[in-house]
Structure 1
């Protein structure tokens, strides 16, 4: 389905919230194949500037942050995930990973065609995971793509053993910066991204889904790390969101070469710091394959 106007997020959030209690996620569930397309997308430079400030990117440059197309495509992803046909409840859905492939620097003054689709569902040891692919094209040419995974936590009875992510490094990456995060980080990022999932906004809402306090958006944490890393043009980024960042709180940004991480304080005296995020950023080679759907 193609359109020229971005769907309004507030009605979609309300629809997803209302439908969530009636959805019973299960391992082996199926998702109806669909692909939504938005053509002629222009950048709202005022909104972009607010996003850059919240995430720590430089402002006033004619280049989109590498994470910004995710924000542009988020309303389309929400339309899919808030629909009756999507089998997972929107409320409590947790972003677990993202892989981005940006093939060239993207101009803030450009016009883009966005496409979003659900690649599929997969059983996870803690529930069911959905993979959502977002693509950006200029004149029909794919210039940016991402694959995000979202986890709906529920009891599993099939004995699924999802492969564990790589073990923590025996030698932690060196700390480059320390950030004190206010309790409003989730609300500020939600205002510029449109992602107003209650787990990010208020402690009471977050507790309904098992979190002691509101948690930072996964996409804010990776954007903040990439802003600290510096400008990117043709790159491949992968990040795993390992443990939620509770708000307010203090985190340390660590990096060495292509690897980066976000760590917090240990749970007790003498314990290793909690690892919130790990990732890598590499130059994108011209021959690297894509996950692109039909143009």
Structure 2
């Protein structure tokens, strides 16, 4: 998979013609337990809201490394992720997973595209990726730092542990040396691990029909210290992860 991803470096952009890819699978209790352990979820019949994302990851990679996806994977930036479910999925039901790509559109720094994972007609995850070609990030509205609800000590091996359960073994997450080869001072945590860790902190307080949306900001270097904040609002929750700057900003609302 890593070799196929590396070979996409020769792409120079173009049209989006990738066709959807699908599979049907059953949940492995051993795999689910390992995922819950690294992300902080308790083990229960209902699957964590973020878990279907990792189940769909092999199909996501198949689509993005295959013909019809216009961008090289090295350097592709994960900007945002939105997950919506109409009811919780359970560990004993077979899951029909389909991954597609849509909505190629301009961005101030290049072009963005959505990779959509759909599961059994009740769960959908939309990951927005940026292919940089130039320009500078817009200043935008600078978020105000919230009061911390908890302080996380993020260990150096979290990228390797999450990579093992998610299949996402991007070198920027695995080791300081491989991360430095891509311009980072040391390894960085997966954005989807950070989102999962936030939702684990809210476990038991979210409705079954729910939507959780995050925007990824500055990478979270590991090992590191991060402040998690969460506050209840009329339509759900607002949460964030901060270091010196924001790493992630998110909202949860009833779907």
Counterpart Cα distance in 2 of 1:78 and 1:123: 23
3-state SS in 2 of match to 1:69:
helix
Q: Kindly tell me: are residues 164 and 100 of structure 1, through their superposed partners in 2, closer, same or farther at Cα, counting changes over 3 Å? A: farther
Counterpart Cα distance in 2 of 1:164 and 1:136: 36
3-state SS in 1 of match to 2:127:
strand
Q: 2:159 aligns with which of 186, 190, 206?
A: 186
Which residue is 2:168 aligned to? 195
Which residue is 1:15 aligned to? 4
The superposition leaves residues 212-243 of structure 1 with CA deviations (integer Å, 9 ceiling, x where unpaired) of: 21111000000000000113421011100011
Q: 2:59 aligns with which of 66, 73, 76?
A: 76
Counterpart Cα distance in 1 of 2:48 and 2:139: 30
Which residue is 1:155 aligned to? 134
Counterpart Cα distance in 2 of 1:180 and 1:47: 24
Which residue is 1:143 aligned to? 122
The superposition leaves residues 80-123 of structure 1 with CA deviations (integer Å, 9 ceiling, x where unpaired) of: 11124322111222211011111101111111111110013222
Structure 1 runs of 4+ off > 4 angstroms?
Answer: 161-166
Q: Kindly tell me: are residues 198 and 166 of structure 1, through their superposed partners in 2, closer, same or farther at Cα, counting changes over 3 Å? A: same
3-state SS in 1 of match to 2:75:
coil
Counterpart Cα distance in 2 of 1:186 and 1:103: 30
Which residue is 1:263 aligned to? 242
Q: Kindly tell me: are residues 250 and 49 of structure 1, through their superposed partners in 2, closer, same or farther at Cα, counting changes over 3 Å? A: same
Which residue is 2:191 aligned to? 218
Say whether 1:46 aligns with 2:21: no
Question: How many aligned positions are there?
Answer: 249
Offset of residue 54 of structure 1? 0.2
Q: 1:279 aligns with which of 229, 240, 250?
A: 250
Q: TM-score, normalised by structure 1?
A: 0.80
Offset of residue 173 of structure 1? 2.6
Which residue is 1:271 aligned to? none
After the TM superposition, which residues 86-105 of structure 1 pair with which residues of structure 2 at under 5 Å, given as runs? 86-105=69-88
Kept in 2, the 8 Å contact 1:16–1:83? The answer is no
Kept in 2, the 8 Å contact 1:173–1:256? The answer is no
Kept in 2, the 8 Å contact 1:186–1:217? The answer is yes
3-state SS in 2 of match to 1:175:
coil
Q: 2:41 aligns with which of 54, 57, 74?
A: 57
Counterpart Cα distance in 1 of 2:167 and 2:139: 31
Which residue is 2:213 aligned to? 238
Counterpart Cα distance in 2 of 1:117 and 1:128: 17
Say whether 1:119 aligns with 2:102: yes
Which residue is 1:289 aligned to? none
Counterpart Cα distance in 2 of 1:37 and 1:217: 24
3-state SS in 2 of match to 1:107:
coil
Kept in 2, the 8 Å contact 1:100–1:144? The answer is yes
Greater C-alpha radius of gyration: 1
RMSD, aligned CA: 1.7
The superposition leaves residues 30-61 of structure 1 with CA deviations (integer Å, 9 ceiling, x where unpaired) of: 2114111112x1001101100000000012x1
- Tell me, which stretches of 5 or more residues in structure 2 are unaligned? none
Counterpart Cα distance in 2 of 1:49 and 1:283: 26
